[in-house]
Amino acid sequence: MKNMVILTGPQGSGNHLWSKIFSLHPEVFGWKTLLDNYWEAHRFAEPFCEHWKDPSKLKDFDWSTHDYFFTSISVPLGIQEKKWEPNIMRFVNEVEKLGIKTQILVIGRDQNILRHQQNRLRGESTLPFFMKQLPEFSNPVFLSYELLYLYKQHYLKSLDLSIPIAWDDYRVNEILSNDPNDKYVHHVEEYILDNCNKTGVSLKSL
């Protein structure tokens, strides 16, 4: 049976990062052009971008080339007046009508970083748009941005997905060489629990 992994999540939670990772394996039909570029616009370059706009076109796609397929989309997509909400389950249903098994992956990122990123680029928190669709997903697999950067290949190797993962590809280290979270994280000189950790003395409830 042919399998398609559909990766989705809030804007700014690592859609392009994960797309690179899951497009590495040679047996997976994925976003291959992104592997040669740091960033590309989803609405022009993602292989299924036109099918996300109109999922009924999926019946005309050539599924004979591979057994494993990968696509990704954020909710919402775009900025301000160009913002739109792709219907994840409509896309899933159209794929499954063709006899292709689907698996939904939900990506996430630290909620504070996500809020700062969305407000900087979108002028508002767009998380509520994604949260409206989340309850419609059946048994999604949740992926962690932070665990990916922390454990790298070890984390990827642990994932049990319906497509093969090139966790041992040398390009994984290249993709993960710079953590975008770093620009949001700042050194803390002192915190209220520091002395407790050093001395073992308990702190009463605040």
- Domains of the chain, residue spans: 3-179
Q: How far apart are alpha carbons 137 and 161 in whole angstroms?
A: 16
Terminal-to-terminal C-alpha distance of the chain:
56
**CATH classification code of 3-179:** 3.40.50
Predicted pLDDT at 203: 56
Q: How confident is the model at residue 154 (pLDDT cuts 50, 70, 90)?
A: very high
> Residue 55 pLDDT more than 60?
yes
What percentage of residues in the chain have a pLDDT greater than 90? Answer: 81
Judged by DSSP in three states, 68 sits in: strand
Judged by DSSP in three states, 106 sits in: strand
Q: What is the mean pLDDT of the chain?
A: 92
Q: How far apart are alpha carbons 149 and 121 in whole angstroms?
A: 23
